[in-house]
Structure 1
C-alpha cells in the first residue's frame, strides 16, 4: 500500500491514528511517519526527510514557513492542547488548583515521568515550571526523561515506583493505556499549545495531504478531536 508520509509532534498521534482508517478508505493511502518531539520533527524536515504533511506547534510551523519549508496557504490549526498531569490507572488522582498544591504534588512523587526537556513542547515547559516552583534541584534525580510524551506515559504505566506522576500533553496521556488524565496545570503554571498542520513545499502527495488536513479539522470530526484532547478556540 502506498503511504502518506507525516512528521508530527506526539500530541497529534492519537487523533491521526483514530482517523487513519477513514482516510485509507477514502484515498487507499496508509499513513506512515514519525510522532516525536516537535523540535526533532522540524529538524527532520530541514534535513530533507520526504514528508507530505507536518503537524507541529503553530509557532514552529510559522518558523518553517519563514524558512520556505512549508506552504503558507496550507497552514491550518487543529486546536489547543493543554499540558497536564497523569497517574497510573488505579492510583489516586493528583490535582493542583494552584502553584503551591502543584509544588506539593511534585515533591510527594518519587518519580516524575516527562518528555524531552529540551526538544518537546511539554518537556521544555515542565523544566520551566520546576524552576518557577524552585524545586528543579530537589527533584532532579526523580525525573524520568524520555524522547517524547507518549514514551514517557508508557513507562509511567509500567512503573513500579510507589508514587509516580507524569506531566506531558493531555493528548498523549489520553491515548496511552494504563495511565489517566489527572488534571491540567494550575493558573500561572499552565500551558495550552496550538497545534497546526501544513504541507511541506516539496511534498510529493500534496493533494492527499490536503485531504487529510481537511479530515483532521472538519466539523464532522470535532467530537474525535475533543475526545483526543484538542480544545477549539470556539469552545
Structure 2
C-alpha cells in the first residue's frame, strides 16, 4: 500500500490519526512518516528525507519556504495549540491561574515531564518559563526530558513519582491515555503556537498531500480539530 510521507510536529499526531481513515477512503493512501520535535523534523527535511507534507510551526514553515524546501502557495493554517499542564489520570487537577500559582505547582512536583528543551516548541518554552519564574536551578534534577511531548506524556502516565506533573502542548496531552489536560499556562507564561501544513518542494505525492491539507483545514472538520486541541482555524 502506498503511503503519504509526513514530517510533523508531535502536536498534530492525534489530529492526523483521527483523519487517517477518511484520507485513505479518499486517496487509497496510508499515512507514514514521523512526528516529533519541530526542529528535529525540519532538519530531517533539510537532510533530504523523502517527504510529501510537513506540519510544523508557522515560523519554521516560513524558514523552509525561504530555503525553497516547501511550496508557499500550498501553505494552510491548521490552528493554534496551547502549551499546557498535565497530570496523571486520577491525580488532582492543577490549576495555575497566575505565575505565582504556576511556580508553586512546579515546586510542589517531584517529577516534571517535558519534551526536548532545545528542539521542541513546548520544551523550549518550558525552559524559558522556569528561568522566568526563577526556579530553573531548583527543579533541574526533577526534569524528565523526552524527545517529544507524546513520549513525555506516556512516561508521565506510567510514572510512580508521588506528585508528578507534565508540561507540553495540549494536543499531545489530549491524545495520550493515562494523562489529563490540567489547563493552559497562565497569563504572562502562556504560549499559543500556530501550526501550518504545506506540500514539500520534492513531494512524490503532491496531489495526495493537498488532499490531506484540505481535510486538516476544512470547515467541516472544525469539531475534529477542536477535540484534538487545535483552536481557531477555518470555520
TM-score range, shorter chain: over 0.9
Distance 1:32 1:208 in 2: 13
Distance 1:148 1:206 in 2: 27
Cα distance, 1:29 vs structure 2: 0.3
What 5-or-longer segments of structure 1 have no aligned partner? none
Distance 1:26 1:234 in 2: 21
Contact map agreement 2:219 2:234 (CA 8 A) in 1 = no
Tell me the equivalent position of 1:106: 106
What's the TM-score once normalised by structure 1's chain length?
Answer: 0.99
Distance 2:140 2:99 in 1: 19
- 1:58-77 maps to which residues of 2 (within 5 A)? 58-77=58-77
Tell me the equivalent position of 1:178: 178
- 1:135-146 maps to which residues of 2 (within 5 A)? 135-146=135-146
What 5-or-longer segments of structure 2 have no aligned partner? none
Tell me the equivalent position of 2:32: 32
Tell me the equivalent position of 1:232: 232
CA RMSD of aligned residues (A): 0.9
Tell me the equivalent position of 1:149: 149
Equivalent residue of 2:60, what SS? helix
- 1:64-213 maps to which residues of 2 (within 5 A)? 64-213=64-213
Equivalent residue of 2:104, what SS? helix
Q: Which runs of 4+ in 1 moved over 4 A?
A: none
Tell me the equivalent position of 2:11: 11
Contact map agreement 2:8 2:41 (CA 8 A) in 1 = yes
Tell me the equivalent position of 1:216: 216
Distance 2:68 2:233 in 1: 27
Cα distance, 1:72 vs structure 2: 0.5
Aligned residues: 235
Equivalent residue of 1:34, what SS? strand
Cα distance, 1:25 vs structure 2: 1.0
Distance 2:109 2:194 in 1: 29
